[in-house]
Chain A
Amino acid sequence: EPEVTQTPSHQVTQMGQEVILRCVPISNHLYFYWYRQILGQKVEFLVSFYNNEISEKSEIFDDQFSVERPDGSNFTLKIRSTKLEDSAMYFCASTEGESSYNEQFFGPGTRLTVL
């Protein structure tokens, strides 16, 4: 069964450093998302991406964040200058269409720890 994959599974970084989280969405999917989940808190939407551009972004997704689809398969989230409060689980998701009933498939997540 096709699945969303993410690398690395765990990333430890120093405050102020840049990190890139990588995702490979399901191959025929058109919409891609990043969500984050701070430990013990709810899953929060960061950004959606369609047709090679950002579709929507939340207030969390400020100038330190950026997304890119550098080739036909990868979808990346870059955090330019990490802060302690960026420590969280970051989930990538994808779906095949814009209809509400289209299930979003989540990757296993990248646990980011900022020291």
Chain B
Amino acid sequence: GQNIDQPTEMTATEGAIVQINCTYQTSGFNGLFWYQQHAGEAPTFLSYNVLDGLEEKGRFSSFLSRSKGYSYLLLKELQMKDSASYLCAAPRGSARQLTFGSGTQLTVLP
């Protein structure tokens, strides 16, 4: 089966850096996704990791350690618009459907 754990909530200040952690247990590993979801909206893709290490994409970076079953999303230079839920997700099955974590609700304060 699949199990994905992430903190429920985090708070950070505008301009700061925040790290959102995700631990996973999967039967078979096909990489890990991070999605952003604003309230009432659809998830939107942020990053995908399949190899160990850091993937950088502008203000957002994602890290993976397969041996530890661990990933994190790093958000730099936080902006108010970054207030959202951040979802860790693992693909599985022949069609690679996504199993999502419960999401981490990030609140960015001025």
Contact = CB atoms under 8 A, between A and B. Distances in A.
A52 interface: no
Interface string B28-61: 0011010001001111110010100000000000
B96 A102 contact: yes
B42 A91 contact: yes
A25 interface: no
B93 A55 contact: yes
B67 interface: no
Interface in B1-43: 30-31, 33, 37, 40-43
A53 to B, nearest CB: 11
A105 B50 CA distance: 19
Contacts, number: 67
Given A31-B95, A33-B95, A44-B100, A101 B41 contact: no
Contacts of B96: 31, 95, 98-100, 102
A107 B44 CA distance: 9
Interface in B80-110: 87, 89, 91, 93-103
B52 to A, nearest CB: 15
Nearest to A95: B96
Contacts of A56: 93-95, 97
A45 B98 contact: yes
A60 to B, nearest CB: 12
Interface string A59-81: 00000000000000000000000
Interface of A: 31, 33, 35, 41-45, 48-50, 55-56, 89, 91, 95, 98-109
A-B complex: 3 closest residue pairs judged by Cβ atoms: A48-B95, A100-B30, A106-B42
Interface of B: 30-31, 33, 37, 40-45, 48, 50, 87, 89, 91, 93-103
Given A99-B96, A100-B96, A101-B50, 19 more contacts: A33-B95, A43-B37, A43-B43, A43-B89, A43-B103, A45-B98, A48-B95, A49-B95, A50-B95, A55-B93, A91-B42, A98-B94, A100-B30, A100-B31, A100-B48, A100-B50, A104-B45, A106-B43, A108-B42
